[in-house]
Structure 1
Amino acid sequence: MASFLLGVNVLTKRILFRALVAVTTVCALGSAFAQESAESSLARVQRTKVLRVGAVAGAIPYFAKDITTGKWEGFGPDFAESLGQKLGAKVEYVETTWGNAVLDLQSNKIDAMFGMAPTPARKEVVGFSDTLFDNTYTVVCKKGIPQKTWEQLNSPDMKIVVDVGSSHDQLATRVLPKADVSRLENSGAATMSLQAGRSDCQVLVILLAQPLLAKRGSIGTMYIPQPVYTAPVSIGLRKETDTGMQKAVNAWLADVRAKGEVRSVILKNMEKLAGVPASAFPPEIKF
């Protein structure tokens, strides 16, 4: 009996010891995970020397991926490489979509998303840099529609088309409440409505309007209605209490803007990727 009790006692100690080791391991892993989650974006970039940037395939002139080499082009990658050099980090591109980029920032899959509009809804969940550039709103109208002001476009007999939920939609809601506005599922569908003659004008920012006309010049004419409205374009960042990354990005941004590099990078990619020369931009357009 004593031998049996001794065996049970030894077995119990072994079980308790293994349980203690397991709990200690779980606690250590939990602590390491918590420490990693608490690490700021800037601290992670400085530690790993890697800047993770979201990239959207086919989003010319923002992003374009060479299917042969896998290399990313566009003013998003150009700006990203410049920022990476400033931070002493290699840029790692993470393919995403405009719709998923916010979630990728929230889940710490990427550190930055170039070309993101700082809408009020997005500001609730992600951080933003200062304005990278202002994208001017235009209307592309079918042949025969004369140039009009926004006030003249705001008429029940004007058929306006926009992509639903976009900044184009937000502007039309705000300045064209009296117009006959159609809201379609995406920008391509809106363009098809214009091309088919179902709509008179499509609201588009100039960096989308110019490539459209470069490919399909017969679709209509681009106007910049008065007064001029613009949409700020920024760099999406993780929303965090540590503002180190935001300050570092804004410092880089102030430097490249002062040197005129923002405008030169945009115009270079518009011509290279979209076939739109710098001369196609009216003098009132500023980047």
Structure 2
Amino acid sequence: MLTGAGAGASLVAVTPAPAAAQQSADTLQQVRNRGELRIGTPPGEPWFFKDQRSGEWKGIGWGAGVALAEELGVKPVAVETTWGTAVAGLQAGQFDVLFAMDATPQRALAVDFPVQPMFYYALGILARDGLAAKSWSDLDKPDVRIGVVLGTSPDRELTVRLTNAKLERFPNIDEVGAAFVSGRVDAVSLFHPALVMLRSRVKRGTVLLPDPIRAASTSAGVRRDVDKSWRDWVGIAIQSLYESGRIQKIYEEFLAFRGIDPKDAPALVREQWSRT
């Protein structure tokens, strides 16, 4: 996702696609002719996870790709990439789509995004036992220490929102997690899918979404073609995954695979957040 949804997001140079590089071929027809949907798979839970024992890919992004391949009657094929090279990979036609990629103004200069959201995530906290956090104001106290990853969206958001709480900044998720385990911070703030994975590693605390909920959506990146049939179809398809509840099911299946009770994790469907 690479916008602070999980760890500290590195800044990636994006080169706008020149007109000559914008493929005139219909990607949708190419996928059908090839009989394969090539899915970019940058490692990072819960979006993409490669099981080293079986070699199989799992995760929300991979599951969405499998679902779209089923709709098209083609085979899903993983093309390994990184978040740092994903935009260039799309531009070069190395893969057809990358799911769970946030649409940003810089990326939109180079690749296309459907207008429909794939799912939503919210800014939340992993709170120590006994810490009251029904609202953000509950946390805005001088004796509350909150760990964030330096330079991420949560860091910027809470710097403005919480003027009394003590923010402790760390270079990455591993270090902020270690601070939580050692008791150096009372809570960790990240976007909630990353918090769920952190909770599974540290085996303590509760993932909460304080009011008012700060929500953001993610999408899918596709190569910029002159013909927009592929972009538009992907948008309709991911909207169907969201509205049917299948994207939530894919998420819950991955959590169960990683030994996490889905009941302990806020949903990706924002309409369900009031029930968490």
TM-score, normalised to structure 1, is 0.75
Q: Is the 8 A contact 1:41 1:245 kept in 2?
A: yes
Judged with a 3 Å threshold, the aligned counterparts in structure 2 of structure 1 residues 177 and 40 are, in CA distance, closer, same or farther, namely farther
Residues paired across the two proteins, number? 251
Paired with 1:140 and 1:160, the residues of 2 have a C-alpha distance of 9
1:151 and 2:137 aligned:
yes
| Secondary structure of the corresponding residue to residue 127 of structure 1 | coil
Aligned position for 1:169: 155
Judged with a 3 Å threshold, the aligned counterparts in structure 2 of structure 1 residues 157 and 40 are, in CA distance, closer, same or farther, namely farther
Aligned position for 2:61: 76
Q: Is the 8 A contact 2:50 2:56 kept in 1?
A: yes
Deviations 1:92-121 (A, max 9, x none): 211122232223223322221112222343
Paired with 1:163 and 1:241, the residues of 2 have a C-alpha distance of 39
| Secondary structure of the corresponding residue to residue 128 of structure 1 | coil
Deviations 1:54-107 (A, max 9, x none): 1133x2332221223321122222211111122333222111222322232233
1:215 and 2:201 aligned:
yes
Aligned-residue offset at 1:236: 1.7
| Secondary structure of the corresponding residue to residue 197 of structure 2 | helix
Gaps of 5+ in 2: 1-19, 267-271
Deviations 1:179-230 (A, max 9, x none): 4434433222222232233333211222222232233233x33322111122
Aligned position for 2:88: 103
Aligned-residue offset at 1:132: 0.9
Between 123-132 and 158-167, report the one with greater CA deviation.
158-167
| Secondary structure of the corresponding residue to residue 195 of structure 2 | helix
Give the counterpart letter for 1:137 in structure 2: L
Aligned position for 1:205: 191
Between 156-165 and 59-68, report the one with greater CA deviation.
156-165
Aligned position for 1:278: 262
| Secondary structure of the corresponding residue to residue 180 of structure 2 | helix
Alignment equivalent of 2:212, drawn from 227, 239, 245 = 227
Judged with a 3 Å threshold, the aligned counterparts in structure 2 of structure 1 residues 175 and 79 are, in CA distance, closer, same or farther, namely same
Structure with more contact order per residue of length (Cα contacts < 8 Å, sep ≥ 6)? 2
Alignment equivalent of 1:140, drawn from 98, 104, 126 = 126
1:266 and 2:246 aligned:
no
Judged with a 3 Å threshold, the aligned counterparts in structure 2 of structure 1 residues 117 and 155 are, in CA distance, closer, same or farther, namely farther
Paired with 1:102 and 1:174, the residues of 2 have a C-alpha distance of 31
Q: Over aligned residue pairs, what C-alpha RMSD do you find?
A: 2.8
1:184 and 2:170 aligned:
yes
Aligned position for 2:13: none
Aligned-residue offset at 1:139: 0.7
| Secondary structure of the corresponding residue to residue 231 of structure 1 | strand
Aligned-residue offset at 1:171: 3.1
Give the counterpart letter for 2:57 in structure 1: W
| Secondary structure of the corresponding residue to residue 241 of structure 2 | helix
Judged with a 3 Å threshold, the aligned counterparts in structure 2 of structure 1 residues 80 and 244 are, in CA distance, closer, same or farther, namely same
Aligned position for 1:193: 179
Give the counterpart letter for 2:101 in structure 1: M
Q: Which has the larger radius of gyration?
A: 1
1:116 and 2:101 aligned:
yes
Counting aligned pairs with the same residue, the percent is 28
Deviations 1:147-187 (A, max 9, x none): 25223434555433222343433433453356443443322
